[in-house]
Every structure is written in C-alpha cells, then in structure tokens.
C-alpha cells in the first residue's frame, strides 16, 4: 500500500489557498522554458485558463483558436503528429463537451500526444450557474480508450500532474478548478500517474475523493474521529488508470467505502471505484456527488454545502453507511 503522505497544516485554519488553474499556468511557463517541443492552444480564454503567461513568454508556440473548440482539438492533433507535445485549454464545459467527437476521432483513436487541460470544472464555478458547471466531463473522458483522466486536489498536485503528463506520451484529460482551495500537500509530496495517495490512515471505513472534495473529506475524517470513527482518506487524483491495488487493500482493511466527487455520480469517480470493487472485493459502498441533476448559481462553498459535499454532510453520510 502507498505510504501516508505528509500534509500541509490544513487544520490550523491558516492554510494557503490556490486555484489549480493557477498552478497549471505556472507549470506551463516552466515547461515552456525547459522544453522547446511544448506548444499551447487556447479557445479565447487564456486569461481565465491561465495560459496567458505562456503566450507572452513563448508567442511563437501559442495559438489562440478563438471560440472554436472543435477546431482547437483538430489543430492540436495535427500539431501532435509532427512530434510536438500539445496542451489545449478551455473551460471544462467547452473543452470536454463541445469537441467530444474530435477528441475521440482525432486524438484518442490515433493515440496522439495531446493534453486537454480543462479549467472551471464542477460546481465551484459558482455564480456562472448550471450552464457552465461541467459535471459530466470525467464520464465523457474516462469512457474513451487511451484517454487518461486526472483530477488534482490542490495546487501542488496540479503542478506536478502537468509535468507528469508532459513527460508521458499520449492523450490526457486534466480537470482543474476555478475557485481557490487549500494547499493540502507539503513540498515533498510526489504525484504519480495511476497511483492514489493515503492522506490519513483509518480502519472503520474509507473515504475516497478527488479534486476539490479532498479537503472536505479530510475535514470530515476529523469530525468522524470526534465521534469515535476512524476513517481512512484516499486522494484518487488519477481516475484512469485507477489504482486497483490500493482500493482493494483499503476495502479489505476498512470494510466500507464512501466516494466523494464534484461531478455526477453516474460515470464519475464513484462508478470507477465501484467497478474495481465489484470485480475484486465487494464491500458496502455509497457515493456522494451530483445525483442526476444540474447545479445552480451560488458561491462555491454555498453550493458544496447545498449539495451535501461539505465536511459535515460527508461525515453524516459516512455514519449512515456504517449503520448499514
């Protein structure tokens, strides 16, 4: 099993915050200086996706395709055939939803070296409302053969994930947030494609989360501890390829699994974990996320609480699972 990772001081209430899209922009800038084969494409949202810094530093390797996401993916595929490492960015609603056919046909079928890094995913897009709150992108991407899917939990992990996907060949989808969230990991944290990370040990049940819900899962584990329940917390940043070994070991040792995601529970993290456990070690399981509904306009934290994705709601659902 993975060793328990060292966390930043989240519980002090003084944790530094950063949006994972900010970390993406900084990591791209580093990559651009290190590697001449890295090119970046954007769909007229470079200020928001944080690719603007790369465009200013390396204008000869940045292409704004305008509000034409299908063309952006087709162009990315074409550039990748020449041996370049291509990053393509827009909001998740536009990066995963609008050009899905081009992603399938032009990127995944030929297994080209295109990294789709989508910002503004999930409920925490906030006030932009249901039209922009992409809650189905993980499902759309993980169903595609050859596509790897990564949902970083904080800025430290997001930066490392960007460097990792640049070093690996083939298609990737990296899901990034708009809202600033706590920095969870210390500088010695190491992200590895296909590996989950145990953030807190426990034996009564296992909380499995990804992205912005990891911080809430850690807080929920603290609440559960006050109630006498010892919860393990796993950050499953890589949803595909999934860490089967860690999930099966945790199911055996904890006896119950609760998944938490800022996404539809159909086709997302919960389905991915259930697929592993039903084949290898079935245990009582529940899934927290969006259950067959769209979001609405509101503040990021307000929305997470409203839809039961805050710490107290996770802890309550965990206790219900244990009673089963």
| pLDDT score of 6 | 63
pLDDT per residue of the chain (324 residues) written in tens, 0 to 9: 456 776 765 433 456 899 999 999 999 999 999 999 999 999 999 999 999 999 999 999 999 999 999 999 999 999 999 999 999 999 999 999 999 999 999 999 999 999 999 999 999 999 999 999 999 999 999 999 999 999 999 999 999 999 999 999 999 999 999 999 999 999 889 999 999 999 999 999 999 999 999 999 999 999 999 999 999 999 999 999 999 999 999 999 999 999 999 999 999 999 999 999 999 999 999 999 999 999 999 999 999 999 999 999 999 999 999 998
Closest CA to 175 of 257, 71, 310, 268: 268
| pLDDT score of 13 | 45
Delineate the domains of the chain, giving CATH numbers in brackets: 17-182 (3.40.50.970), 190-323 (3.40.50.920)
| pLDDT score of 1 | 45
| pLDDT score of 324 | 86
Query: Which are the catalytic amino acids?
Result: 69
Q: What is the pTM of this model?
A: 0.95
| pLDDT score of 14 | 55
Q: Nearest 5°: phi and psi at 211? A: 65, -140
Q: What is the DSSP string of 237-273?
A: -EEES--HHHHHHHHHHHS-EEEEEEEESSSSHHHHH
Apex 141 CA angle, 315 and 198, nearest 5: 35
């Amino acid at each position: 099993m993975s060793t328990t990772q060292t966390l930043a001081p989240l519980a002090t209430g003084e944790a530094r915050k950063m949006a994972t899209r900010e970390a993406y922009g900084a990591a791209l800038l580093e990559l651009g200086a290190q590697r001449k084969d890295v090119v970046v494409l954007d769909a007229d949202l470079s200020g928001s996706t944080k690719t603007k810094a790369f465009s200013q530093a390396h204008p000869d390797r940045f292409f704004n395709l305008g509000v034409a996401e299908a063309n952006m993916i087709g162009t990315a595929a074409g550039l990748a055939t020449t041996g370049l490492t291509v990053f393509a960015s827009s909001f998740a609603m536009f990066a995963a939803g609008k050009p899905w056919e081009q992603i399938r046909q032009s990127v995944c079928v030929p297994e080209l070296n295109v990294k789709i890094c989508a910002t503004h995913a999930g409920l925490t897009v906030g006030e932009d409302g249901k039209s922009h709150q992409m809650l189905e992108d993980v499902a759309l991407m993980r169903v595609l053969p050859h596509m790897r899917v990564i949902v970083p939990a904080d800025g430290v992990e997001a930066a490392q994930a960007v460097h990792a996907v640049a070093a690996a060949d083939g298609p990737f989808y990296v899901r990034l947030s708009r809202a600033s969230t706590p920095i969870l990991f210390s500088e010695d944290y190491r992200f590895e494609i296909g590996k989950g990370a145990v953030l807190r040990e426990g034996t009564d049940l296992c909380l499995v989360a990804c992205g912005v819900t990891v911080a809430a899962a850690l807080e929920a584990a603290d609440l559960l501890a006050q109630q006498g329940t010892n919860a393990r917390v796993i950050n499953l940043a890589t949803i595909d390829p999934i860490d089967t070994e860690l999930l099966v070991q945790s199911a055996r040792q904890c006896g119950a699994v609760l998944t938490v995601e800022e996404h539809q529970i159909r086709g997302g993290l919960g389905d991915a974990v259930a697929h592993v456990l039903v084949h290898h070690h079935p245990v009582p399981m529940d899934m927290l996320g969006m259950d067959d509904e769209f979001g609405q306009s509101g503040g990021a934290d307000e929305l997470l609480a409203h839809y039961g994705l805050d710490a107290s709601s996770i802890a309550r659902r965990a206790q219900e699972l244990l009673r089963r």
